[in-house]
Structure 1
Amino acid sequence: MNRPKVALITGITGQDGAYLGEFLLDKGYVVHGIKRRTSLFNTKRIDHLYQDPHVSDRRFILHHGDMTDSSSLVHITEQVQPDEI
């Protein structure tokens, strides 16, 4: 069985990021999204995509990160090992 493609999306809570995440999920991808901690109030665009973090086969995973913090981005990228960013 082939491993599904993995995508890492920055700005997942924004209009374009949320749309891309939903599109890739429909295509069978596992989607990892990076959101700023300050985006806590602005998750309504992805609420319908959210999956319980305790489910082992979930396909939508959120990470907290900041585009200005290169070490956190490197850590997330190494952890996720995406096929596409």
Structure 2
Amino acid sequence: MTRDYDDQLLESVAVRRRRLRDALLFGSDRVRRALDEGLGKVFGGIALAAVVCAGCVGWSFLSHQMDQEGGLFGMAGERRTAVGSDGDAAWGGGAP
């Protein structure tokens, strides 16, 4: 019994909030109240998809730039060599 009362109370509060929101948004224009609430979700989904696409394009651009420049510190064109057993080569920029 208590569970049913709680569910009923929560549902009535949700209905009251929705009605107050609709009254605030649409006023006395009852025709506009029949507006499909899913329309806002569609526009929100489109906006979210646009943000995700922009993020993917930005990430692709940055990773392409990083590949071209040789990394974060701009070491493009430098070739690093390891120290050999005879000690001739040292770590650093060598000729390509």
* Structure 1 and Structure 2 fold alike (TM over 0.5): no
Q: With a CA cutoff of 8 Å and minimum separation of 6, indicate the structure with the bigger relative contact order.
A: 1
Question: Which is greater in Rg?
Answer: 2
TM-score normalised per structure 1? 0.19
Whichever structure has more helix as a proportion of its residues is: 2
TM-score (norm 2): 0.17
